[in-house]
């Protein structure tokens, strides 16, 4: 009995090893055909590879292909992957013809198919191509990904335009997406296409019609060679068949085809090392200015100082310079306003942070000048723009006699003028009445003031004990602090509940801001892989990391698909919980 179990265990283990092995094989549509017929050969693999090399096909004429097909499926809880390169061949002569070996590199190992021999006979009276409609569909339908730039800088915008080319010999009746690119190493945003429009063009020198299906803006978030995943579609193609109706018109057959755009590789260049001080990752062409709503006012009144960046570039992916002011100018947290449109040239528009400032004392106060640095890909140089110093004149209010003038050049202390009329508000003539001595003694007020301090003593003791217990509750204090911090960062997102676009942009920005504050990293480093690596280094548990990454993916996914108000509320509450948990662990 034990031997049977051992044999069974060995077979299961061996089958698991075989199942996990890489499979790369060649298949033909048939092994015997006439010289006037066509042959289809498929090179199929169960794992994606590089540098596919087909055979020379010296005994055949390639009349179609290579056509690429990618499919994924889940069988018994396991993900099954398949990628196929297909060729359609016309034999050149009769006899035993051989199809040589194809090669591909998978996981740095080279795999080869076995040679296949087919028997070519004399011409047949009625040649049949078993996959003739498939061949026509393959040869007349092409999905192409056009990338605007193959060697961009880090955080420089590139565009990917997906075009479906259709030959006049066939027509497309319907299509749907099977697999969308994930853009793992990019900040991405789709450009809305209001209506699909058919245009005339050329594909490999032949006249075709084409439709632009998708336009996407990408900002690479890491350097080196990056991969842009393919878009995969299932398309219903109407193909003319060999049959005709009673009027002699050709009958069309509908064929479902899966087409995929090729993987695109881009080489992202690092920014030059001579970064100016204060550079926070801005890449593009920008204008920078700092303005004040007014420069003369009274103490207690308010003014607005606006820091604004305009132009074309990665407007949402860098940090603003922070405004500072003297202590006598009370300054509140800025309100951020974004007016950004995204088109094929990238993000264009303006982002402004407006500070509300309230002076508390009379005097003259300078708001120091700010500098803003960015990298211009056109000139391949860093550029810096400086604002002017803004002098605020506060006309009336308490004098700033205790302000240290040395810290703010140009601010003069003002002398205190004293005259004899400063005590005129004191009344010299009074109308006082004697207090009845028996009036207060023994009254309700007398007894309440006597008894209340005695009653308050145990209350103060109880309050002190509660306070000590709360102070000793390290875990509870950490939880309360983390919850407060999470809601602080997510306040903007909460205010935009109901507006899907603004909510998810604010949610993504708040999560990035939290990480920048905690991990001291720049926006340009915020790829999901980098975030996961940093959190693991900080000993954050896998569940919290997974929840944080899934929230970022929800923000990306929400740009392309509608979300209900319940889904937004759920994502908000989940973000509060994740940031709170993350803060305790950090």
- Residue 202 in any domain: the answer is yes
Q: Are residues 45 and 161 in the same domain?
A: no
Whether residues 125 and 141 share a domain: the answer is no
DSSP one-letter string for 293-318? S-SEE-TT--EEEEEEEEEEE-TTSS
Would you say the pTM of this structure is higher than 0.75? no
Beta-carbon neighbour count of residue 163 at 10 Å?
20
Which CATH number does the domain housing residue 571 bear?
1.20.120
Considering the domain architecture, whether residues 261 and 325 belong to the same structural domain is answered as no
Helix, strand, coil share of the chain (percent; to 5): 25, 40, 35
Q: How far apart are CA 80 and CA 419, in angstroms?
A: 93
CA distance 564 to 554: 13
DSSP state of 496: T
DSSP conformation letters of 370-412: -EEEEEETTTTEEEEEEPPPEEEEE-SSSB-TT--GGGSTT--
pLDDT attached to residue 405? 41
Question: Cis peptide before 66, with omega less than 30 degrees from 0?
Answer: yes
What pLDDT does residue 4 have? 56
Structure confidence at residue 314 (pLDDT): 93
Residue where one domain finishes, among candidates 113, 129, 145: 129
Residue closest to 412 by CA, chosen among 403, 425, 421: 403
DSSP 83-145: EEEEEEEEESSSEEEEE---EEEETTEEEEPPPEEEEEESPPSS---TTHHHHHHHHTEEEEE
CA quadruple 464, 470, 472, 478: dihedral sign: negative
Domain match, 159 and 104 both:
no
Residue at a domain's end among 377, 403, 429: 403
269: Cβ contacts below 8 Å, ≥ 6 apart: 151, 152, 153, 154, 223
Q: Which residue has the tokens 């319907």?
A: 174
Query: Is residue 531 domain-resident?
Result: yes
Domain C-terminal end among 403, 418, 434? 403
Same domain, yes or no, for 95 and 149? no
Residue 37: CATH number of its domain: 2.60.40.740
**Residue 505 and residue 399 share a domain:** no
Q: Are residues 220 and 122 in the same domain?
A: no
Residue 360: CATH number of its domain: 2.60.40
251 in the same domain as 312: no
On whether residue 397 sits in a domain, the answer given is yes
The total number of structural domains in the chain stands at 4
Is 576 a member of any domain? yes
151 and 85 together in one domain: no
Question: Quick check: is 429 in a domain?
Answer: no
Domain assignment present for 114: yes
| Per-residue pLDDT of the chain in tens (586 residues, 90 and over written 9) | 556 555 555 555 544 444 458 889 999 888 888 887 888 898 998 888 888 889 988 888 887 777 777 777 766 667 788 888 888 888 888 899 999 999 999 888 889 999 999 998 877 766 665 456 666 777 788 899 999 999 999 999 999 999 999 988 888 878 888 888 888 889 998 888 878 888 999 988 888 999 999 999 999 999 999 999 888 888 888 877 656 666 666 667 787 888 888 888 999 999 999 999 989 999 999 999 999 999 999 888 899 999 999 999 999 899 989 999 898 889 998 999 999 998 888 899 999 999 999 998 888 999 999 999 999 999 999 999 999 999 999 987 666 554 444 444 444 444 444 455 555 555 666 676 666 555 666 677 777 777 788 777 888 788 777 777 766 665 555 555 555 655 666 777 777 777 777 888 888 877 777 777 777 666 556 677 778 888 888 788 888 888 888 888 777 777 666 667 777 888 888 888 888 787 777 7
Q: For residue 175, give every residue at least 6 positions away whose Cβ sits within 8 Å of its Cβ, in sequence order, or none.
A: 164, 233, 234, 235, 236
In this structure, the answer to whether residues 196 and 294 fall within a common structural domain is no
Comparing CA positions, the residue from 100, 136, 130 lying closest to residue 118 is 100
Domain encompassing residue 572: 474-585
Q: The sheet that has 250-260: what strands, in order across it?
A: 171-179, 232-244, 250-260
The answer to whether position 442 is within a domain reads: no
150 and 220 belong to one structural domain: yes
Are residues 105 and 209 both part of a single domain?
Answer: no
Q: What is the pLDDT of residue 481?
A: 58
- Domain membership flag for residue 277: no
């Amino acid at each position: 009995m034990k031997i049977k179990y051992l044999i069974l265990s060995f077979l299961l283990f061996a089958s698991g090893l075989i199942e996990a092995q890489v499979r790369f094989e060649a298949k033909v549509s048939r092994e015997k055909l006439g010289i006037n017929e066509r042959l289809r050969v498929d090179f199929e693999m169960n794992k994606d590879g590089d540098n596919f090399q087909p055979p020379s096909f010296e005994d055949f004429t390639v009349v179609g292909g290579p056509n690429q097909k990618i499919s994924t499926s889940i069988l018994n809880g396991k993900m099954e992957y398949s990628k196929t390169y297909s060729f359609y061949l016309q034999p050149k002569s009769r006899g035993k013809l051989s199809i040589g070996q194809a090669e591909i590199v998978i996981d740095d190992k080279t795999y080869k198919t076995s040679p296949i021999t087919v028997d070519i006979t004399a011409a047949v009276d009625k040649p049949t191509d078993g996959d003739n409609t498939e061949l026509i569909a393959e040869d007349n339908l092409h999905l192409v990904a056009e990338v605007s730039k193959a060697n961009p800088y880090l955080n420089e915008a590139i565009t990917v335009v997906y075009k479906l080319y259709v030959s006049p010999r066939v027509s497309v009746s319907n299509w749907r997406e099977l697999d969308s690119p994930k853009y793992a190493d990019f900040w991405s945003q789709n450009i809305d296409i209001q209506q699909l429009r058919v245009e005339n063009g050329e594909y490999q020198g032949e006249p075709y019609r084409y439709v632009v299906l998708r336009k996407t803006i990408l900002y690479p978030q890491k350097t080196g060679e990056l991969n842009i995943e393919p878009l995969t579609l299932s398309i219903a193609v109407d193909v003319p068949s060999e049959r005709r109706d009673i009027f002699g018109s050709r009958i069309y057959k509908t064929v479902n085809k899966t087409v995929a755009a090729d993987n695109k590789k881009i080489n992202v260049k690092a920014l030059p090392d001579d970064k100016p001080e204060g550079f926070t990752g801005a890449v593009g062409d920008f204008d920078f200015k700092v303005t004040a709503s007014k420069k003369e006012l009274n103490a207690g009144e308010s003014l607005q100082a606006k820091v604004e960046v305009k132009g074309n570039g990665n407007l949402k992916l860098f940090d603003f310079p922070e405004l500072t002011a003297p202590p006598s100018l009370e300054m509140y947290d800025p309100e951020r306003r974004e007016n950004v449109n995204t088109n094929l040239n990238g993000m264009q528009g303006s982002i402004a942070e407006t500070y509300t400032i309230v002076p508390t004392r009379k005097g003259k106060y300078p708001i120091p000048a700010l500098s803003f640095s960015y990298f211009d890909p056109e000139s391949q140089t860093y550029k810096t723009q400086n604002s002017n110093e803004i002098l605020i004149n506060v006309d009336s209010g308490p004098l700033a006699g205790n302000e240290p003038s040395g810290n703010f050049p140009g601010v003069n202390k003002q002398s205190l003028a004293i005259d004899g009329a400063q005590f005129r508000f004191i009344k010299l003539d009074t109308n006082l009445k004697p207090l009845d001595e028996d009036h207060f003694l023994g009254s309700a007020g007398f007894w309440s003031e006597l008894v209340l301090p005695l009653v308050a003593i145990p209350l103060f003791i109880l309050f002190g004990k509660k306070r000590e217990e709360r102070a000793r509750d390290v875990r509870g204090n950490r939880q309360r602090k983390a919850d407060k911090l999470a809601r602080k960062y997510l306040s903007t997102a909460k205010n935009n509940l109901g507006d899907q676009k603004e909510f998810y942009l604010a949610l993504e920005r708040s999560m990035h801001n939290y990480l920048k504050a905690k991990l001291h990293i720049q926006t340009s480093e915020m790829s999901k892989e980098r975030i996961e690596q940093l959190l693991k280094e900080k000993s954050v548990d896998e569940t919290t990391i997974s929840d944080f990454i899934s929230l970022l993916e929800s923000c990306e996914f929400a740009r392309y698909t509608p979300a209900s108000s319940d889904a937004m509320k759920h994502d908000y509450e989940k973000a509060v919980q994740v940031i709170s948990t993350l803060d305790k662990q950090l």
